[in-house]
Each structure stands twice: as C-alpha cells, then as structure tokens.
Structure 1
C-alpha cells in the first residue's frame, strides 16, 4: 500500500493536519499567527545547516525553529515590541538561510521544495518522522491541555491555580518547533503558518467548546490535505499550495454559514 506515492502523500498530509490542529487553536486564541510564521521562516536556516552538516533536515529545522522561538520569548518585553522582534528575527533568519544555501557547494538542493513543500516525494522514512512528530505534539497538548487553556484564557487565574504561564508558553514553543519541522515536506516553509491558522480559524464557526474546536480543526485540516492532493493530481497544480487553497475555501464557506446562522438566530 505504501508503495503508492499518493497514499504516502495522503498519510503525510493527514499526519501534519493532526499535529497542526490543536496547536493552531492555541495560535489563534493567543493571537500568535505571526509567531508561527516567524518560526517557520527560521527553518530555512535550519535546512541549510542540516545540509552543510549532513544531518537530518528534520533535526536541523526543529533545532533552529526552537532556538528562534526561545529567543523571541527571552527578548519579549525587553525594550522591543513583539511584532518588531518577530519581524527582525524572521526575515533575518530567512535571509541568512537563503544566503547559506548558496554557499553549499556540491549539494543539489531544490529550494522550491523546501519553500512550498514536496509532499508527493514523501518516503516511508518521512512518514515515520511526520507521524512520530504529530504523535509527540498531540501528546504534549493532551498532557497540558487544561493548564494551557487556563494560561491562555487568563494568566492571573493560571497563577492563582498554581500554574506557570511561562512554562506553558515554553511547551507551546516546543510543539510549534516540532510541527514546523514535520510540515516542511508537506506544505513548505512559506505555507506552514497557513496550515496552522486557517483550519483553526474555520473551526471557530462551528465549535461551541475548545475541545470541539480542536477536533473540528483536525477534520478540516485532514479534509484540506486529502481534497488538495486530489485537486493537485487532477489539475496538475502544486500540491502544498493546493492544500492551503482548499483550507481557505473551507474557511470562507464555514464563515458564511456561521454568519448566516447568526443572522437567523
């Protein structure tokens, strides 16, 4: 079964959707959209370092994404606004990554595959990495779900409950770095933030509870991956962008349905 490249691609897309769905909900609730985008951009530098050191792309991308996220957390509130820090670090890391790639002599690299994904080239080994990373992200979120939700809704309530919001932020940071690393092969560095945000934003129109929103977001993400791949196969379009296009269409449709339901109620 796994010899069929479309089967492998579908499994990869669904795996990334399951990882991105619950995390994307927290990104939406915490208004961290630009944070996710900045972490993804930093992964370009991780790809370049991984190729230079001849180590796993997953390991290199995750390490640099994690360093980027931790740096932002450390520098926030120390004289610069969060949006300023994210802008400086994200674009700097992207630029340094692209320059570093140009110095890699003797290494064949398809930069477009890393920027926009190459899901149709997913191997069995890639599937193990994607589903292993997705399982780790889901396990982290489930383990700290209540604490993460409390810290997101009200930091003062979190402190009163004996929680440490900074620790919960660190857990989200680690989960985000893992998700960025596993999603590179599927939708690419430039579209990772879209797969995090769009399904979660679409799920807001249907969900009545945070748990329902996470589950609906996972369903929307998986549907986007499957339909996007089918559309790419039929119309011969890029697979990663096609997945994001389907997610965007679902977002618009569900937003209109939600708006109509509110008007009628």
Structure 2
C-alpha cells in the first residue's frame, strides 16, 4: 500500500498534523509564533549543511533547527527585545541559507521544494522519520503536559509548585526544532509556523479545556492536510500552500461561527 505516492503523502500530512497540532497549542498560548519563524527559516541553512556534507536532509535540518532553538533560548535574556532578536535571527538565517544552498557545487536544487514543501515525493524513509518524530513529540508532551501547562498559564504558580518555567520553555523550543525537521518535507520552511498556529487558533474557538484544544488542533491539522492534498490535485496547485489555505479557510469558518454564536447569545 505504501507504494502509492498518494497514500504516503496522506500519511505524511497526518503525521505532521499530529506533531504540529499538539505543539501548536503551546505556541499560541505562549505567543511564540516568531520563535517558530526563526527556527523554521533556519531550516534552509540545514538543507545546505546536509548537501555540503552528504548527510540526510532530516539530519541537517534537525541539527540547525536545534542549534537555532538553543541560541534563541540563550539570547532571551539579552538587552535587545525578544522580537528584535528573533527578527534578526529569522531573516539572517533564511538569507544565509538561500545563499549557501546556491553556492554548493555540483548540486541541482529545487528551492521551491524546501521553501514550500513537496509532500508528493515523500519516501518510505521520510514517512518513518515523520511518524517517529511525531511520536517522540507526543510522548514528551504527554509526560510534561501538566508542568508545561502550569508554566504557560501561571509562572508564579509554577514556581510555587517547584516547576522551572525556563526549563519548560526550553523543552518547547527544542520540540519546535523537532517539528521543523518533521514538517519541512510537507509544507516547507516558509509555511511551518502557519501549520503550527492556524489549526490551534481555530481549535481554540471550539475547545473548553486545553486538552480538547490539543485534540481539536490535531483534527483540524489532519483535515487541512488531507483536504489540501485533495484540492491541490484537483486544481493543480502547490500542495504545501494549498494545505495552509485549507487550514486558513477552516479558521475563517470558526471565526465566523464564533461571532454568530456571540451575537445569538
């Protein structure tokens, strides 16, 4: 069954939706969209590293994303505002990655595939990496859920409960690096943050508890992935951006229905 490229694409989209949906809730709660951008944009530099040293794309992207995540955490206490630091890191890393990729000799590189994803070319190995990454992210969140939630919603209460908010922040940042490595093949470096925040933002309209929001975010992400692949095949459009368009449409519907419900109440 996995010889069918559409089945592999669908499974890759679902695996990415699981990872991004679960972590996306914390990205929304903590307002970390710019953290996601900085880590995701650095992924292009990871592609250049992988091509230059003949290692797998997942390894190169994961290493650079991890380095960027640690650098962001280390710089968080600097004098410059966080958004300024992240802006410099995000765009500098993207520009450096784009320049470096084009300078690698003997490589024919489809930059669009790395910028916007190419889920229809997912291999069995890619599929295994995506689902292993999603499983690791899910297990870490399952184990750390209560501590991460308390540290996110009430840092003072976290200190009283002997929970280190900075440690939880570091865990989330490292998991962001893992999501970048997992999602690169599906939606590309420029759209990873959108897959993190849009399903979670739409889920928040319907959820009554944080756990419900996480489940709904995964469901909306999965629906966006499958719907995006279907629409892209019908309209002959790029799959990665189409997935995000479907997610944005779901968010728009959730916003409209929420407003109508408020008016009715």
TM over 0.5: yes
Measure how far apart 1:77 and its partner are: 2.6
* Equivalences for residues 130-141 of structure 1 within 5 A: 130-141=130-141
Matches within 5 A, 1:100-111: 100-111=100-111
Deviations 1:56-105 (A, max 9, x none): 11111111111112111111131110000001111111111111112111
Alpha-carbon distance, 1:253 to partner? 0.2
RMSD, aligned α-carbons: 0.7
| Matched position secondary structure for 1:207 | coil
**Corresponding position of 1:50:** 50
> Which position in structure 2 is the counterpart of 1:113?
113
The residue number in structure 2 matching 1:264 is: 264
SS of structure 1 residue aligned to 2:183:
helix
98-107 vs 215-224, greater mean Cα deviation = 98-107
- 1:240 maps to what in 2? 240
Distance apart, 1:258 and its partner CA: 1.1
Secondary structure of the 1:190 match is: coil
In 2: Cα distance, 1:151 partner to 1:201 partner: 20
CA distance in 2, matches of 1:42, 1:255: 32
Query: 1:29 offset after TM fit, Å?
Result: 0.3
Unaligned runs of 5+ in 1: none
Shift of 1:170: 1.2
Aligned match of 2:221: 221
Aligned to 2:187: 187
For 1:259 and 1:149, the matched residues in 2 are separated by 27
Normalised by the length of structure 2, the TM-score is 0.99
Structure 2 gap ranges (5+): none
- Distance in 1, Cα, partners of 2:234 & 2:10: 15
> Aligned pair 1:32/2:7, yes or no?
no
* 1:161 aligned onto 2:161: yes
